[in-house]
Amino acid sequence: MNFDSLLQDIRVELRLVGNESGKVRAICSVEFVFVQAGSIWVDGFRVVESPNQKFWVAQPSRRGSEKYFKTVELKGAIKGLVETAILTQFERVRQTAKNG
């Protein structure tokens, strides 16, 4: 499928998390803007920092009684596009916070 003909833009709203003791560094909402079809907002993406790893993106999920369950699961090329958009915005916001 050719995303260029359907997906116009991916927009990220990101809020840094001030709790340094946890692994989550930011909470994100992502808007998928489609050509002539409107948009879809998905809340609950998280930027996570794990020991000895780069920052990574956790997809939206809900806590069950024994484990977490994904509420949205992105696969294929769209997953990479969203992760890149989120991590780019995270670095931009983080640098602004450091310099501001």
For 44-56, what is each residue's pLDDT tens digit? Answer: 999 999 888 899 9
74, part of any domain = yes
Residue 82: Cβ within 10 Å count: 21
Q: How many domains does the chain have?
A: 1
37, part of any domain = yes
Give the span between the Cα atoms of 25 and 18, in whole angstroms.
7
Q: Tell me which residue range forms the domain holding 38.
A: 3-95
54, part of any domain = yes
Give the span between the Cα atoms of 47 and 60, in whole angstroms.
11
100, part of any domain = no
Give the span between the Cα atoms of 43 and 35, in whole angstroms.
21
Global confidence as pTM: 0.88
Residue by residue, pLDDT tens for the chain (100 residues) are: 565 678 899 999 999 998 777 899 999 999 999 988 899 999 999 999 988 889 999 999 998 888 888 899 999 999 999 999 999 999 999 999 888 7
